[in-house]
Structure 1
Amino acid sequence: MAERQAGPALETRPRPEETVSLMHIGDIQDTRILNPEGEELGDLTDIAIDRETGRIIYAVLSYGGILGFGEKHFAIPWGAVRTPPGERVFVVDVDKRRLESAPGFARDAMPREGDWSLVRTLPP
């Protein structure tokens, strides 16, 4: 009876032969972000989620500063964030010098969308 009532919800579960790649917030928060050259850009400290769709819109990159003072925050579009298999880092194609000269945003004034102008190569 319960299965009949659940109907489509049960159909969305992965089949035993399918794999699902999930991350927990604890896997994401405070993870190092590197660029493809291996330069450390900072840490992923937060994510912005669209309330209507449930999709991650961007990752918050905290760059620079010491002990939280003088940090700049950048909205990196989630589509530009790569996760190398088996590693606990994220890779984003951003030039470190670009972050030094870009203004970033204040933590109490998060932008509505990610900033694609920071990303050197756009996803396909």
Structure 2
Amino acid sequence: MSEELLRQAVDWLVRLIEAASAVVVGAGALTAFVLFLTALVRRDTSGFVRVRLLLGRFLALGLEFQLASDILTTAVAPTFEEIGKLAAVATIRTALNYFLAREIRTERRELEETDTPTDQASPS
């Protein structure tokens, strides 16, 4: 009886975390889209980089929530098949997160390099 209750609680928690992931990704996509339209109207090409950075951060956070839900899914009496699936999914999501974080760092560096000369320019 207690194992079934634990399974139900974990199942509920997994659904909650997956919903949180969807909300994070959805909010990030919506926010990025609004900022993209703003940059497009202003013809601000550096704004596109900021939009990519913002969206990348939201996607990375969403991936972390998804990984947490996958771990919880296999937390209660996992089979070897479930552990194998978790390992594959965790590897893929970790790789995605790694490359996304690397791209965010690169974009941030490029953005800082383009912003630095204008910040240091003396007023005329």
The reply to whether TM is greater than 0.5 is no
TM-score, normalised with respect to structure 1: 0.23
Larger helix proportion of the pair: 2
Larger strand proportion of the pair: 1
TM-score, normalised with respect to structure 2: 0.23
Higher RCO (Cα < 8 Å, 6 or more apart)? 2
